A and B are shown apart, each in its own frame.
Chain A
């Protein structure tokens, strides 16, 4: 067990920090939440700058434009971008954090050449078309059909909760290619270009009043068979690779942001006056903050442990379920504390005087999605109890 960084890891950190110090202020302010064109431009523009500086795809192969550095450097990268207040991965989320990584492991040579460099340069935005109205937690029961017609598949179906659909160029799409087979064995993983005929996107407002995700309707959409990743009907296995990245490594930078957020809550607690004292003068509240900070440190130590393990396998292990579960529930507890610190200032979704109500409320509302998206907390507990602890499996139809 060695938590020290090597000389070359330290050099990496120093250089990145120096670069960020110049690049971040130069990239300007975040565009409004609902201006999707501007958000795409802002996020992909930042991705391009990372690419030009050699900081896109830290652990992705050099051959396709990555830096081919270690997972440890990837971790340092997350620490540094969060510390510098650099733009969030934003619309590049799917491409950078699970679509791209899946292609690197499972894609054909042509698919990798066609997409990886463009994802890294911010030229391609991806979305994820997995869930359907009838297939959320039970993802393998998805119904979207793909029928062979010569060299094409013809797609018909309905996807939902598709984040970034309105700005995406491609979609990692799960379809049913064999309706007769048991449900896990008739699925294929396709690369769907979002500009082909027959795709209708209807934004679906979230409880935060934002249009983060959409419904996507597919009517006789034609996709070349060569857009399939892996073998026909082997899509479930590949899906699990995608989910391993989505649950395993995709949240690392958010954890650092959460640590910063807790510090901001301390500052807020010093501004709020309750009765005749500051909220921060309440020893009970202070202990609660200390408690959460300690748990956040434990979470980050867990990430370091799992990164050290994944360095050997390349794909995050099933233990990622424990990290995801702990992180998402901790996040919500931090937000709950934030609301209690704000008191009635939390009735406003914009800043009240000097108090950061806008940010706290934004985070609190968004945090409700964390224990649902990317496999709900209950599903993570099923995974831990069955795949790690070896308890009897849930009943499975067919």
Chain B
């Protein structure tokens, strides 16, 4: 066992990090915000970086890496709040032609029960294909056939959503097992993005606490602030360990209970990112409550990601069920 990042993994992470820093700096968030359409240029560049074809075999034009690697990449995308149905298009690589190359933008919705209500779908107006995960299988739906109403003010200004009236059943692409597998993979990727939010909020909050002065000293010298920041750090580290373990366990199923591990990663990450983003706003004081200071974007995105591929409540119930089975 060696749970450290290999040199290749560090290079992969650093490469995607510097791409995101150059291509999606914080200022662009405000530009992207006013344009609800997905930036197809950026999408193509992400595809070229291998974001979507990362786990596709090299023989199929992919990069041939594992889910552990994908978690590292998605953590960087999360850290920079890169918008778009990243996880869905990544999951669709190999299932939907053109997804890996970025030519076809794939979004999706994860329906755990037969008749969920309401159904909200992210980025629906920008999608070429919609994947629907149902308890009994994976389905492909033509987004133009979905009756839906745009939500005028989405929670996350970078994640437009539509309220779906009627969702056609679509064409089957996979069975119940395939749907369950995609849900787990999606949860692992979302956990990666949430880890990125944990990291970014720690960085932002620490930097602000060192720089902002009140009472003649940096606010970061007040113990109440330090302890709040220390707790953010602990959540970040727990999330890192859980998210990495979730990704690696999907690749190496012999090392543990895959579902429990991914469930735990998603649950821990979702909660940690929301708490960290809230704390980050608290550290920023009144400026943190403004639209102008970009801290709020992290909290809003954290809520979006935490709701995807099973939320905290769903996964907590799932882990409990598995404990129960174990005991029986």
Contacts and interface: CB of A to CB of B under 8 A. Distances in A.
Interface of A: 1-6, 9, 72, 75, 262-263, 266-267, 280, 283, 286-291, 293-295, 297-299, 301-302, 304-305, 307-309, 311, 319, 322-323, 325-326, 378, 380-382, 384-386, 388-392, 394
Most buried by A among B230, B237, B240, B268: B230
Contact of B234 (A2, A75, A384): A384
Given A294-B263, A295-B268, A3 B249 contact: yes
Contacts of B265: 298
Contacts of A291: 267, 312, 316, 319
Contacts of A263: 323, 326-327
Interface in B297-328: 312-313, 315-321, 323-324, 326-327
Interface in B125-150: none
B268 A286 contact: no
A382 B223 contact: yes
A9 B317 contact: no
A287 B315 CA distance: 8
A298 B221 contact: no
A359 B30 CA distance: 56
B234 A326 contact: yes
B22 to A, nearest CB: 26
Contacts of A389: 202, 206, 226, 229-230, 233
A385 B324 CA distance: 39
A160 B144 CA distance: 74
Interface in B248-276: 248-249, 252, 254-256, 260-261, 263-265, 267-268
Contacts of B223: 382, 394
A143 B234 CA distance: 34
A291 B9 CA distance: 30
Contact of A298 (B2, B218, B242): B242
Given A305-B3, A326-B234, A381-B227, A293 B210 contact: no
A304 B3 contact: yes
Contact of A2 (B217, B218, B248, B327): B248
Given A1-B5, A384-B234, 8 more contacts: A1-B2, A3-B256, A286-B321, A290-B318, A297-B260, A301-B242, A307-B3, A325-B234
A116 B258 CA distance: 41
A2 B252 contact: yes
Nearest to B249: A3
Nearest to A384: B230
B206 A3 contact: no
B34 interface: no
Nearest to B206: A389
B226 A72 contact: no
B172 interface: no
Interface of chain A, helix or strand or loop or mixed? Answer: helix
A398 B165 CA distance: 70
Contacts of A391: 206, 209-210, 218, 220-221, 225-226, 229
A290 to B, nearest CB: 3
B238 A299 contact: yes
B327 A294 contact: no
B229 A319 contact: no
Interface in B1-43: 1-6, 9
A199 B321 CA distance: 55
Contacts of B316: 286-288, 290-291, 294
B245 A301 contact: yes
Contact of A4 (B255, B321, B326): B255
Contacts of A305: 3-4, 240-241, 244
A385 B323 contact: no
Given A2-B248, A267-B327, A391-B210, A294 B268 contact: yes
Interface of chain B, helix or strand or loop or mixed? Answer: helix
9 contacts: A1-B9, A2-B3, A3-B248, A288-B316, A294-B319, A302-B238, A323-B237, A382-B226, A389-B226
In the complex, the 10 A-B pairs of residues with the closest C-beta atoms, listed nearest first: A294-B264, A290-B320, A290-B319, A301-B241, A385-B226, A392-B221, A381-B230, A298-B242, A290-B316, A384-B230
B175 interface: no
B69 to A, nearest CB: 9
B264 A297 contact: yes
A378 B227 contact: yes
B101 interface: no
B235 to A, nearest CB: 9
B231 A9 contact: no
A297 B218 CA distance: 37
A288 to B, nearest CB: 7
B245 A297 contact: yes
Contacts of A302: 237-238, 241
A388 B229 CA distance: 11
Given A286-B317, A381-B226, A385-B227, A298 B5 contact: no
A301 B244 contact: yes
Contacts of A322: 233-234, 237-238
B239 interface: yes
A304 B230 contact: no
Given A1-B5, A283-B317, A389-B229, A298 B241 contact: yes
A326 B231 CA distance: 9
B245 A308 contact: no
Contacts of A307: 3
B231 to A, nearest CB: 7
A308 to B, nearest CB: 4
B108 interface: no
B68 interface: yes
A266 B230 contact: no
Contacts of A293: 260, 264, 319-320, 323
Contact of B218 (A6, A283, A392): A392
Given A1-B248, A380-B230, A72 B1 contact: yes
Contacts of B312: 291
Contacts of B252: 2-4
B320 A286 contact: yes
A287 B326 CA distance: 16
A395 B287 CA distance: 28
